[in-house]
Structure 1
């Protein structure tokens, strides 16, 4: 059936010239896009080992940004673009370095262990009912313990002199130059003067939080060991007896007692060489008792 002239005019009005031109432009864009995709070389996917290495560097170095990590990768011979490092960090929801620079207390203690001393008071009671106060210090890295004194009356003058004696001991042993921090709690038995004395020696006093013993965890762990191995197993007659027991225990702890953090060595004594099977078969062990058998030490028999 032939279309009327009016119908043809309506059909021509359905599509304008601009629409036809737009269709033509869209068609050409799609053709160019498909052609460019065929010509483009696809970037290889980042291998898993590189991804793990980037995340490790970011975790171990909170102050490093993606460009610093990229530079370290280049030193290791790992070829990766800086944008790739940024993308890996972004995908893992790792913030840029300024947001990762906050150092936790545990990380601070680990990184500065060689320069940290910790100090604390330990209370005990003799058989006569007298309360005694033990002041001790421990080196975080070497685990060496120093019993600074024992008294029933820890006056400010007594504590100040004990700290001066500690500094002289550190200087005599050549360790004073390595110590930069001393951790202690906010006990009122510490006078403000000791912070000035320590500061003159280049040591900064770091106060723990209120009721936060974990901030002085190394010292608190030693206090627990002291109680378990000595104070809870021995009847202390008086102050003189306590001093004698502490001298013996300090020597035992520094020269004989092993530590996992020191690869089974004592703070002041390296472990001996491992024995072979034949020498173990011939080994004869002698026990030496200290403090009436409270402490046992074992050595090869001559």
Structure 2
């Protein structure tokens, strides 16, 4: 058997764009024959998939799944919205969300978990799907929430199919009360989170760096007024209180009834639920959030799809 050197693996990687371990395996399978290894990778769909891996994937779908007192939300990106309407892609997102329920909810754990329909890892299953469907895809983000006793309510905005859409929300409510009533208020709170995108559940949970940045901005703005330092300090504290009210979930005006804060609405719901309710956590994933999309026009996009 030919020796599979690092230089040989590097050369194959440069020619195909495939991963290092895939290149090493291809060379081993073909006794070090470079051209045969390239064909082996192409036959497996790996070279085709990895060549596409540099292309921007900012479309796709958000998927949610729940089981008992646990729920997950995942984001799988694709290059075009056309693929998001593909049944195979939708089945993949739905399947990955179900797999995520068996993990800690991290992208790493989900990627390494076995995908039942293929017997392969989620990572390898997505790689195979890239080769089959024909454009780059990636499991970008995920979150999981659980409660000991209560519900984790879910909400999908801009739904395209059951459990799939463009924005997904989880909210964990701990309570010993009636679960049906608890689910109802949970869904309303999840819808509120979708609409307002709070930074944290409570004011003291807002990221310290974010709060400090806001404080510094307020200080600079207040100094422009020319007022003395003691007045500026009071002005800044007042603006920070307002900032926390606006970005912390429980202090926000409830979108379904703006006369109440979310905290007051939950307190009101306790009468129906029959027990205290504690918000244990939340997660909100908006499709493509933070991804810098490549500029393109619609005609060019259609032409690219037509060329395959």
**Radius of gyration: which is bigger?**
1
Q: Per chain length, whose mean CA-contact separation is higher, i.e. which structure has more relative contact order (CA < 8 Å, sep 6+)?
A: 2
Q: Which structure has the highest strand share of the two? A: 2
TM over 0.5: no
